[in-house]
């Protein structure tokens, strides 16, 4: 799994290059066949994998844990906020997960633990992790895609869905 | 909980999708977009051959990819009567935005009318009339007949001055060359309407009279100048939020130092560094934060002046720069006059300015050094001066505007690379109208006349005074009272009895009533008072031309059908003219009827060819075919020729004789006309412009590059601009009487008065009420929590907002979102204006008290700091 902090520099370099269309710098995963099964009734939404992203024991208060979901090319974070929030999972309802690819132009977001916001070094957008990823300020035309999380009895944290389209893909599950 | 669309995949644009040129119809930057449409039953595939991008879409795409679009960029609309998929996404090949999309423009698709996806269902689909006590649909013929009969009756009885008009003067949505010409030809050609006002101000006047009077059109540079400047001087503007992609795509590269190569290449004989930036604004903005991040705090100077004291600062700059000998003497001698007069008349010491502005002497001195001290080796420092509503809607508009242009002229910064003294702009521009000289100057204060009971008929084109005027509460009260008189009269007569209906209406008008006709795309707030609504088409539902803040003219191609029977404004104006002609003829007033000839347009292109093509400077070179071929980059006005045929020296005309340029204060300056110059008539005719031709048009990158300005002798005129305190009547007293400065302006999420955004879940979820940014100490003192509803009140009226804490707000200095439907800031703005009837929205003071705890829709919203913060 990629460190999102390293991607801050990557984003900066892309912007600095002034290139209009930077090639994808993200490593390609195995190519999945397109869901073209004949005669199958397509579901209204894509079918998400249930993916274990970590365990509650791995989470430290207000420190982002880098994850990826629904696949390795879609970086994200889990954060334990220490207070119950809407969309929060776990016994305290305080665990949230978000994509860290900015839905504006695909630059990597980084976490600011003082404000508890995810911030984009590319064009200064700010998303509030305590308000469902609401774009406090910024350029994206959507709030930050958030994971549907489930925590089982062992404390394992599973992501099972995403509530907005992830940047760089026209289907959340490729 | 933050609004989420729960959309996790989108239809893929097939390789053979239709492609249309689009320019964002919101702000003046005019970002290039492409609209892709394709059959509802088709879709592209992920394999490269199966999609428009020729890219493997089964892979994650990287940052800045062209091969992605957000749900807000997608919709299903009607095209030629059939449902089609549409994607409207930023165009990477447009030099303005290079593929960047703002939070406003990148929602154009979602903000389109879609019966299938229930977006913008507020759009008007039929003419509506006041019938049986409510607004009811009717036919165009029926609605236009009533409007024409009442309008003609009132004109016949009281003269044209009894017809009041409110009409946009800009480009983009609710404007553009076609539509300003259509309305202009009707009201300034067929009639000579004097009681007319513009969408955002209560009179028909320029927001920037001073710079035009000095001979300097206000859009005189190009966006590349922001990449070339040594110093960018910004006054009363928050460009990251309000000219977003101009800032991101052209200022940031200079602040980061990545336009260095371009500087060396274009300006080789002088040293270059990354830009410095000076921002004059009473409050700290996200723009300042972004500048500090990119340029470093040591290259960003925020001059947080006392509100409304800009003029004293500019005079001090001029005085200090002249004393130091940092002026461009050669330029002043060759291209200007009255320099000495201005120096003598505007003399202001650093100490005096410091006392007035609240800045320190060092801040003023250092900022003057940043903008004018010669560079190493003695090269002239290139400074770009940019201003917008903080100055335009600020204290003593005329002189303050002049004082800033003085500094730009003195330092030789107009007409040269890396320079310019420009307004940053709101909407795009798109003004083509017959002369407005009969309006006079100062123009009539239309809102006050309406309040005082004058006028019998009011035609409104794309304006909503209820949200966007000053003294709004008083205006609304008077307007409702007067239009209610007519409504009650109408309700008493059967609709089918037209003579009785017209008689009832005109009788009510004689008793102080007002008949109100509202042409718009949605039912506006002022529309609540209107008797007739006429449904208009907007950009993309019609072909529409406009120019952006660097005079870049493009054609937005029609990519979808207008809702129902909605029509382009230019054609509504034409049909209204046809009906007025008919009615006047029936009345036996043949001479008046004849004035309404010349409106036989069938399409918006007819209006364009009749208007811009024939009447605007360089218009003879401009056709739809050529603009279409030039895509989203277009050309920069004025056009001077056709590629392959070279620039033509031929003087262009907007008058009746060749070479004559019609005078008029409205917009000439912006486009670089010579309003008081008579070009020498030449016998040489310009090359004919075949409508079918698609040769590129040659434009003009910068105005005044030859040092010749828009005055009789071609010399720019320095202006005497003495400081005279708060100039608008009553402002000084208001500032002493009330506790809080109610500064006001725009926010990133919202376009204009939210006329489309008010139906957008994403926006209304973020701001169900207008925010008022307050210092946390002030909030504590008033016992306010984040999101609490507060009342803002003073002697002008009252309004509401939700409290938003921020350290960026100085104690006792608030900032309220302007023009919002759920809390109109204009309610508390006084009627005070400058000598040319320019409103003074910014200098408003009021008290604040709590109304209620945060309502349900406000709970869970983010009230965090809007500034980007680096990792911690």
- Write out the DSSP string of B709-763: -SSTTS-EE-------SS-STTHHHHHHH-SEEEEEE--TT--TT-TTGGG-HHH
Chain B residue closest to A107 (CA)?
A: B63
Query: Chain B within 8 Å of A151 (Cβ-Cβ)?
Result: no
Q: What is the pLDDT of residue B643?
A: 87
Give yes or no for residue B198 having a pLDDT over 90: yes
Closest B-chain CA to A126: B868
Pairing between strand B716-717 and B336-337?
parallel
Inter-chain touch A124–B290, beta carbons under 8 Å: yes
Tens-place pLDDT, residues B209-226: 999 999 999 999 999 999
Q: Which of the four pLDDT bands, split at 50, 70 and 90, describes residue B648?
A: low
Residue A147: asked if its preceding bond is cis (omega within 30°), the reply is no
Instruction: Assess whether pLDDT exceeds 80 at residue B441.
Output: yes
pLDDT at A87: 87
CA–CA gap between residue B101 and residue B681 (Å, rounded): 45
Phi/psi for B764 (5° steps) reads -70, -25
Fold of B128-207+431-607: Rossmann fold (3.40.50)
Residue B164 has pLDDT above 80, yes or no: yes
| pLDDT band (50, 70, 90) for residue B665 | very low
Structure token pair of residue B104: 């406003």
**Stretch B464-490: mean pLDDT, rounded?**
98
Averaged confidence pLDDT in chain A: 83
How far does the CA of residue A35 sit from the closest CA of chain B (Å)?
10
- Neighboring chain A residues of B57 at a CB cutoff of 8 Å: 169-170
What ipTM was assigned to the predicted interfaces of this complex? Answer: 0.94
Chain A residues within 8 A of B871 when measuring between CB atoms: 5, 8, 110-112, 119
Task: Please say if the pLDDT value at position A148 is more than 70.
Answer: yes
The pLDDT tens digits for A104-146 are 999 999 999 999 999 999 999 999 999 999 999 999 999 999 9
Q: H-helix or E-strand containing B459?
A: strand B457-461
Q: Residue B792 has what pLDDT? A: 98
| Average pLDDT for chain B | 94
Please, where in chain B does CATH 3.40.228.10 lie? 220-423
**Binning pLDDT at 50, 70 and 90, where does residue A22 land?**
very low
Tell me which of A10-14, B125-129, B726-730, B777-781 is least confident: A10-14
Q: Give the pLDDT of residue A42.
A: 57
Residues of chain B in contact with residue A143, where contact means CB-CB under 8 angstroms, are 2-4, 762
Cα–Cα distance list, B98 to B3, B60, B222, B745 (Å) = 29, 21, 16, 27
Q: Is the pLDDT of residue B657 over 90?
A: no
Whether residues A164 and B4 touch (CB distance < 8 A) is answered with yes
- Residue A86 has a pLDDT of 84
Chain A nearest C-alpha distance from B771 (Å): 12
pLDDT of residue A28: 36
Question: Are the Cβ atoms of A143 and B2 closer than 8 angstroms?
Answer: yes
Residue B801: name the closest of B780, B768, B771, B841 by CA: B771
In this prediction, residue B651 carries a pLDDT of 39
pLDDT score of B693: 79
* pLDDT reading at B635 higher than 90: yes
Q: Is it the case that residue B650 has pLDDT exceeding 50? A: no
Q: Which fold has domain A51-162?
A: Rieske Iron-sulfur Protein (2.102.10)
How close does chain A come to B298, measured CA to CA in Å? 20
Domain boundaries, chain A: 51-162
Q: Is B531 on the interface with A (CB under 8 A)?
A: no
pLDDT digits (tens, 9 = 90+) for B277-316: 999 999 999 999 999 999 999 999 999 999 999 999 999 9
Q: CATH for B18-111?
A: 2.60.40.4210
Of the candidates B61, B63, B103, the beta carbon closest to that of A138 is on B103
Contacts of A13 in chain B (CB under 8 A): none
- Distance to chain B for A155, nearest Cα, Å: 25
CB pairs below 8 Å between A and B: how many?
Answer: 225
Question: How many angstroms separate the CA atoms of A98 and A79, rounded?
Answer: 9
The answer to whether the CB of B212 falls within 8 A of the CB of B703 is no
CA torsion, ordered B736, B737, B738, B741, to nearest 10 deg: -30
**B83-113 pLDDT per residue, tens:** 999 999 999 999 999 999 999 999 999 999 9
Q: A117 vs B864: CB contact, 8 Å cut-off?
A: yes
Phi, psi (deg, nearest 5) at residue B515: -95, 125
Answer whether B71's CB lies under 8 Å from B80's CB. no
Q: Which residues of chain B have a CB within 8 Å of the CB of A141?
A: 70-73, 101, 103, 106-107, 110, 762
Answer whether B401's CB lies under 8 Å from B209's CB: yes
User: Is A132 within 8 Å of B102 when comparing Cβ atoms?
Assistant: no
A2 touches chain B (CB under 8 A): no
pLDDT at B660: 40
Task: Judge: domain B731-858, CATH 3.40.50.150.
Answer: no
**pLDDT band for position A36 (50/70/90)?**
very low
Residue B579 pLDDT greater than 50, yes or no: yes
CB of B381 closer than 8 Å to CB of B349: no
Architecture, CATH, for domain B220-423: 3-Layer(aba) Sandwich (3.40)
pLDDT at position A44 is 73
**Residues B389-415, mean pLDDT to the nearest whole number:** 98
- Taking the C-alpha atoms of residue B106 and residue A147, their distance in angstroms, rounded to an integer, is 24
Which pLDDT does position A39 carry in this prediction? 56
Would you mind telling me the total number of residues written for chain A in this entry? Answer: 174
What's the CA gap between A29 and B255, in Å, rounded?
37
For residues B680-693, average pLDDT:
49
pLDDT (tens digit, 9 = 90+) per residue, B484-522? 999 999 999 999 999 999 999 999 999 999 999 999 999
Structure tokens at B342: 């201005």
Query: Are B60 and A73 an interchain contact pair (Cβ–Cβ within 8 Å)?
Result: yes
CA–CA dist B474, B494 (Å, integer): 33
Residues 49-68 of A with CB under 8 A from B: none
Which of B347-356, B656-665, B742-751 bottoms out in mean pLDDT, i.e. has the lowest?
A: B656-665
Residues of A in contact with B2 (CB under 8 A): 128, 131-135, 143-144, 146
With a cut of 90, say whether residue A33 has pLDDT above it. Answer: no
CA distance B844 to B836: 19
A117 contacts B869? CB cut-off 8 A: yes
Quote the tokens at residue B463.
Answer: 């304006």
| Weakest mean pLDDT among A32-41, B346-355, B467-476, B623-632 | A32-41
Q: What is the pLDDT of residue B646?
A: 63
Q: Is residue A21 predicted with pLDDT exceeding 80? A: no
Q: pLDDT of B11-69, one tens digit each?
A: 999 999 999 999 999 999 999 999 999 999 999 999 999 999 999 999 999 999 999 99
* Average of per-residue pLDDT across B781-794: 98
Residue A162: its chain B contacts at CB < 8 A? 8
Q: Find, in chain B, the residue whose alpha carbon is nearest to that of A165.
A: B8
Q: Where in chain B is the domain with CATH 2.60.40.4210?
A: 18-111
Chain A hits for B45, CB-CB cut-off 8 Å, are 34
pTM for this entry: 0.93
3-state helix, strand, coil split of chain A in percent (to 5) is 10, 30, 60
Work out the pLDDT band at B658, boundaries 50, 70, 90: very low
> Could you report the per-residue pLDDT of A60-100, keeping only the tens digit for each?
999 999 999 999 999 999 999 999 998 899 999 999 999 99
CB contact under 8 A, A138 and B748: yes
Cα torsion A80, A81, A85, A86 to 10°: value is -50
Subunit contact A134:B766, Cβ cutoff 8 A: yes
- Please report the pLDDT score of residue B213 as a whole number: 96
CB distance A131–B2 less than 8 Å?
yes
Give the minimum alpha-carbon distance from A128 to chain B in angstroms, rounded to a whole number.
6
């Amino acid at each position: 799994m990629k460190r999102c902090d390293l991607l801050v520099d990557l984003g900066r370099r892309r912007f600095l290059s002034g290139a209009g269309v930077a090639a994808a710098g993200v490593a390609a995963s195995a190519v999945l066949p397109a869901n073209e099964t004949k005669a199958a009734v397509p579901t209204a939404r894509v079918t998400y994998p249930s993916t274990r992203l970590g365990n509650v024991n791995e989470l430290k208060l207000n420190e982002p844990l880098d994850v990826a979901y629904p696949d390795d090319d879609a970086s994200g974070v889990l954060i334990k906020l220490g207070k119950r929030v809407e969309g929060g999972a776990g016994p305290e309802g305080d665990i949230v997960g978000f994509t860290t690819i900015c839905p504006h132009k695909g630059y990597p977001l980084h976490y600011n633990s003082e404000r508890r916001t995810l911030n984009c070094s590319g064009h200064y957008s700010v998303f509030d992790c305590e308000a469902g990823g609401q774009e406090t300020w910024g350029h994206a035309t959507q709030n930050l895609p958030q994971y549907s999380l489930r925590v089982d009895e062992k404390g394992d944290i599973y992501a099972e869905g995403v509530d907005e389209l992830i940047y760089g893909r026209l289907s959340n599950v490729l | 909980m933050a609004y989420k669309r729960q959309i996790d995949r989108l239809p893929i644009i097939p390789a053979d999708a239709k492609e249309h040129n689009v320019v964002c119809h919101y702000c003046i930057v005019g970002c290039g977009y492409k609209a892709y449409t394709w059959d509802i039953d088709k879709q592209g595939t992920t394999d490269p051959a199966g999609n428009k991008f020729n890219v493997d879409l089964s892979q994650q795409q990287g940052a800045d990819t062209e091969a992605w679009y957000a749900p807000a960029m997608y919709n299903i609309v009607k095209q030629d009567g059939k449902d089609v998929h549409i994607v409207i996404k930023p165009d990477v090949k447009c030099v303005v935005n290079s593929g960047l999309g703002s939070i406003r423009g990148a929602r154009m698709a979602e903000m389109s009318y879609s019966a299938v996806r229930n977006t913008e269902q507020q759009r008007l689909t039929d003419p509506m009339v006041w019938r049986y006590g409510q607004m009811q649909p009717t036919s165009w013929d029926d609605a236009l007949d009533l409007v024409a009969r009442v309008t003609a009756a009132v004109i016949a009885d009281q003269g044209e001055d009894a017809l009041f008009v409110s009409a946009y003067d800009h480009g983009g949505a609710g404007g553009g060359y076609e539509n300003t010409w259509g309305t202009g030809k009707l009201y300034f050609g067929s009639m000579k309407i004097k009681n007319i006002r513009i969408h955002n101000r209560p009179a028909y006047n320029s927001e920037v009279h001073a710079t035009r009077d000095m001979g300097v059109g206000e859009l005189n540079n190009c966006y590349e100048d922001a990449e070339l400047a040594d110093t960018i001087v910004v006054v009363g503007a928050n460009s990251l939020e309000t000219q977003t992609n101009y800032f991101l795509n052209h200022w940031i590269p200079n602040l980061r130092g990545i336009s260095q190569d371009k500087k060396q290449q274009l300006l080789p004989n002088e040293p270059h560094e990354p830009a410095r930036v000076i921002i004059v604004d009473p409050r700290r903005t996200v723009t300042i934060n972004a500048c500090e991040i990119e340029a470093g705090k040591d290259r960003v100077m925020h001059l947080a002046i006392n509100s409304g004291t800009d003029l004293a600062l500019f005079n001090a700059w001029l005085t200090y720069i002249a004393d130091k000998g940092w002026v461009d003497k050669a330029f002043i001698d060759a291209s200007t006059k009255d320099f000495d007069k201005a120096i003598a008349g505007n003399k202001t010491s650093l100490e005096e300015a410091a006392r007035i502005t609240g800045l320190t002497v060092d801040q003023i001195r250092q900022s003057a050094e940043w903008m004018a001290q010669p560079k190493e080796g003695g090269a002239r420092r290139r400074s770009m001066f940019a201003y917008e509503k903080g100055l335009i809607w600020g204290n003593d508009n005329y002189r303050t505007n002049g004082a800033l242009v003085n500094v730009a002229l003195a330092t030789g910064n107009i007409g040269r690379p890396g320079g310019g003294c420009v307004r940053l702009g709101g909407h795009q521009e798109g003004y083509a109208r017959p002369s407005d000289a009969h309006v006079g100057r100062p123009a009539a204060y239309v809102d006050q006349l309406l309040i005082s009971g004058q006028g019998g008929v009011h035609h409104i084109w794309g304006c909503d005074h209820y949200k966007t005027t000053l003294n709004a509460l008083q205006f609304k009260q008077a307007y409702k009272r007067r239009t209610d008189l007519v409504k009650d009269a109408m309700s008493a007569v059967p609709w089918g009895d037209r003579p009785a209906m017209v008689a009832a209406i005109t009788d009510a008008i004689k008793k102080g009533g007002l008949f109100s006709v509202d042409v718009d795309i949605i039912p506006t707030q002022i529309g609540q008072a209107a008797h007739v609504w006429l449904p208009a088409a907007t950009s993309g539902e019609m072909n529409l031309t406009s120019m952006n803040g660097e005079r870049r003219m493009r054609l937005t191609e029609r990519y979808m059908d207008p809702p129902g029977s909605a029509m382009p404004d230019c054609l509504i104006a034409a049909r209204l003219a046809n009906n007025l002609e008919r009615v006047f003829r029936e009345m036996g007033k043949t001479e008046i009827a004849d004035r309404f000839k010349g409106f036989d347009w069938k399409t918006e292109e007819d209006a364009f060819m009749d208007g811009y093509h024939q009447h605007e400077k360089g218009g003879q070179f401009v056709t739809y075919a050529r603009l279409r071929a030039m895509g989203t980059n277009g050309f920069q006005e004025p056009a001077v020729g056709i590629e392959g045929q070279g620039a033509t020296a031929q003087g262009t005309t907007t008058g009746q004789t060749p070479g004559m340029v019609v005078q008029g204060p409205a917009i000439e300056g912006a486009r670089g006309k010579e309003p008081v110059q008579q070009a020498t008539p030449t016998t040489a005719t310009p090359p004919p412009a075949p409508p079918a031709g698609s040769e590129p048009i040659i434009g003009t990158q910068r105005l005044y590059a030859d040092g010749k300005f828009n005055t009789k002798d071609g010399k720019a005129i320095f202006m005497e601009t003495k400081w005279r305190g708060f100039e608008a009547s009553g402002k000084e007293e208001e500032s002493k009487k009330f506790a809080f400065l109610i500064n006001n302006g725009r926010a990133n999420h919202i376009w204009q008065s939210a006329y489309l955004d008010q139906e957008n879940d994403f926006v209304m979820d973020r701001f169900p009420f207008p925010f008022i940014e307050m210092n946390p100490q002030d909030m504590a003192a008033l016992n306010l929590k984040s999101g609490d509803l507060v009342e803002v009140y003073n002697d002008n009226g009252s309004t509401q907002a939700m409290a938003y804490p921020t350290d960026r707000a100085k104690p006792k200095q608030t900032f309220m979102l302007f023009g919002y439907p759920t809390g109109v800031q204009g309610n508390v703005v006084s009627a005070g204006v400058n000598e040319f009837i320019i409103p003074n929205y910014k200098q408003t003071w009021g008290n604040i008290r709590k109304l209620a705890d945060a309502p349900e829709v406000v709970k869970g919203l983010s009230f965090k700091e809007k500034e980007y913060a680096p990792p911690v």
